């Protein structure tokens, strides 16, 4: 079977029976290998899995450390919420810049740079323990390093796979749940042995393992395809065309709606990871048992990402509906956790939340590809990351402020659950747009 795709003035002719794609660009033909859907791609998936276990494990276990910061520095939970927001926000906000760096210098370089910055920055407070320095190093600089790793892992896996993309992405990002499961109790254990400064030093040393993961990121088989489309004075890589694309996206109502959905979701998504241990302690749960609630979230997250990645690959359900349902159930779970005091019930709600949170993270990039295609995924995902990052600067501090005002985490978690549910429901507004209804009928 032969199918033609028109891109501007160029025609891409794809033959299913061959392993090459023939591209005509201003009468110049170039043979380019397809995404392998396997082979070295599985090595890349493994490296991305280990990377997400490391950086997300530290990120989502940061709440274990912030409890110690409250006691050591005698600061409010609003201030500590801002610290967690800065770490997660800076992981997301530099997305478009990271996408540009990946295109210019390659995924391997960006991964190694991000791993070096994050590990050194996270260890730095061991040598100088001041609050402002914690904000600078463990939040701001570590977040920038994590941002380089996060976008690189997601984009490279999406580019290495086509038919098995859902499964590959699910496996790659499931490391987040595995890391959260391990790092929560581990950091608590290290705190009890060496104090929070020693725990950060050891955790920062563990983050150095991000560098060998980056070395496994080989040059993409589809990279030549980008170069081929750039033969005409490299127009596609020009800043001018990038700006045009951004302006076009922000005039697209579906992209705006998707960006708003991700904004609303991240207002409520991250605060539970930061405050779940603190919430349990205020309910009378011992600190070591409270830290295992992060493990409950993590194990749910792990299985949620793999399971929903598999479902997306098998096309058992529409990715758009999976994305929306994940957010709605996430929100409903937090709302229903109102008044929870027993440890068993805390395990149940954190496990359910973890599963659906894992689904949401897995489906975000998959739905983005379904809606807008694989071209310029780095830029698209980077713009969505900005929407998420801005929201993170709002959500956790505001949840902390709600607790400081009410002296109860019930209202704070209700606030988070409400925003998550709204984020899932609002995407159905897309059906009011004729263009979406038409394209959605063709979506898998």
> What is the per-residue pLDDT for 76?
84
Q: Calculate mean pLDDT across residues 162-189.
A: 84
Together in a domain, 21 and 74: no
Together in a domain, 265 and 323: yes
User: What average pLDDT does the structure give for the chain?
Assistant: 81
With 0.85 as the threshold, say if the pTM is over it: no
Residue 35: is its pLDDT beyond 80? no
Q: Calculate mean pLDDT across residues 308-334.
A: 84
Together in a domain, 94 and 11: no
Higher pLDDT, 383 or 315: 383
User: Residues 53-64: pLDDT tens digits?
Assistant: 999 889 888 878
Together in a domain, 29 and 89: no
Together in a domain, 207 and 283: yes
Together in a domain, 158 and 253: yes
Residue whose C-alpha is closest to residue 66's, from 176, 199, 180, 177: 199
Together in a domain, 27 and 114: no
Least confident residue range of 367-371, 394-398, 425-429: 367-371
Residue 437: is its pLDDT beyond 70? no
Together in a domain, 17 and 46: no
Report whether 172 contacts 52 (CB < 8 A): yes
**Phi/psi of residue 15, nearest 5 degrees:** -115, 120
- Whichever domain contains 163, its CATH number is 1.20.1250.20
Please state the domain count of the chain. 2
Q: Calculate mean pLDDT across residues 87-116.
A: 88
Residue 30: is its pLDDT beyond 50? no
Together in a domain, 29 and 155: no
> What is the per-residue pLDDT for 75?
85
Q: Calculate mean pLDDT across residues 32-51.
A: 81
Together in a domain, 325 and 285: yes
Together in a domain, 160 and 292: yes
Nearest 5°: the CA angle 151, 153, 155 is 65
Q: Calculate mean pLDDT across residues 338-346.
A: 90
> What is the per-residue pLDDT for 438?
52
User: Residues 263-274: pLDDT tens digits?
Assistant: 999 999 988 988
Which H, E and C letters describe the chain, residue by residue? CEEEEEECCEEEEEECCCCEEEEEECCEEEEEECCCCCCHHHHHHHHHHHHHHHHHHHHHCHHHHHHHHHHHHCCCHHHHHHHHHHHHHHHHCCHHHHHHHHHHHCHHHHHHHHHHHHHHHHHHHHCCCCHHHHHHHHHHHHHHHHHHHHHHHHHHHHHHCCCCHHHHHHHHHCHHHHHHHHHHHHHHHHHHHHHHHHHHHHHHHHHCCHHHHHHCCCCCCCHHHHHHCCCCCCHHHCHHHHHHHHHHHCCCHHHHHHHHHHHHHHHHHCHHHHHHHHHHHHCCCCHHHHHHHHHHHHHHHHHHHHHHHHHHHHCCCCHHHHHHHHHHHHHHHHHHCCCCCCHHHHHHHHHHHHHHHHHHHHHHHHHHHHHHCCCCHHHHHHHHHHHHHHHHHHHHHHHHHHHHHHCCHHHHHHHHHHHHHHHHHHHHHHHHCHHHHHHHCCCC
> What is the per-residue pLDDT for 120?
96
Residue burial 406-436, b: 16+ Cβ < 10 Å; e: rest: eeebbebbbbbbbbbbbbbebbeebeeeeeb
Report the interhelical angle of 271-282 vs 62-73 (nearest 10°): 60
Q: Which domain holds residue 29?
A: 2-33
Structural tokens at position 243: 């700006």
Together in a domain, 67 and 26: no
């Amino acid at each position: 079977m032969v199918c033609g795709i028109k891109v501007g003035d160029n025609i891409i002719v794809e033959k299913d029976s061959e392993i090459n794609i023939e591209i005509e660009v201003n009468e110049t033909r170039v043979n380019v290998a397809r995404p392998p859907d396997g082979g070295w791609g599985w090595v890349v998936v493994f490296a991305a899995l280990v990377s997400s276990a490391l950086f997300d494990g530290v990120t989502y276990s940061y709440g274990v450390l912030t409890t110690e910061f409250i006691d050591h520095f005698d600061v409010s939970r609003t201030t500590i919420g801002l610290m967690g927001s800065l770490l997660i926000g800076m992981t997301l906000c530099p997305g478009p810049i990271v996408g540009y760096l990946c295109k210019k210098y390659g995924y391997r370089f960006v991964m190694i740079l991000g791993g070096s910055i994050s590990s050194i920055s996270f260890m730095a407070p061991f040598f100088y323990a001041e609050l402002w320095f914690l904000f600078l190093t463990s939040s701001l600089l570590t977040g920038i390093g994590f941002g380089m790793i996060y976008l690189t892992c997601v984009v490279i896996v999406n580019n290495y796979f086509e038919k098995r993309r859902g499964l590959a992405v699910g496996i790659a990002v499931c490391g987040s749940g595995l890391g959260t499961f391990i790092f929560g109790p581990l950091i608590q254990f290290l705190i009890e042995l060496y104090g929070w400064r020693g725990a950060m030093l050891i955790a920062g040393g563990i983050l150095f393992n991000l560098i060998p993961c980056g070395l496994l990121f080989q040059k993409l088989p589809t990279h030549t395809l980008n170069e081929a489309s750039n033969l005409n004075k490299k127009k596609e890589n020009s800043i001018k065309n990038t700006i045009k694309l951004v302006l076009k996206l922000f005039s697209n109502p579906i992209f705006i709606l998707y960006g708003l959905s991700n904004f609303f979701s991240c207002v409520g998504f991250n605060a539970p990871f930061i405050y779940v241990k603190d919430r349990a302690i205020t309910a009378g749960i011992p600190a070591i048992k409270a830290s295992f609630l992060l493990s409950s979230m993590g194990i749910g997250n792990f299985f949620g990402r793999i399971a929903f990645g598999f479902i997306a690959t098998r096309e058992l359900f529409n990715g758009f509906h999976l994305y929306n349902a994940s957010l709605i159930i996430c929100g409903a779970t937090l709302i229903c956790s109102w008044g929870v005091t027993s440890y068993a019930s805390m395990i149940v709600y954190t496990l359910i939340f973890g599963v659906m949170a894992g689904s949401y993270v897995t489906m975000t990039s998959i739905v983005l590809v379904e809606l807008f295609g694989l071209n310029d995924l780095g830029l698209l995902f980077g713009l969505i990351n900005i929407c998420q990052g801005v929201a993170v600067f709002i959500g956790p501090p505001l949840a902390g402020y709600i607790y400081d005002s009410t002296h109860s985490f019930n209202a704070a978690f209700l606030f988070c659950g409400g925003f998550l549910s709204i984020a899932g429901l609002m995407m159905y507004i897309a059906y009011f747009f004729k263009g979406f209804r038409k394209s959605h009928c063709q979506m898998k």
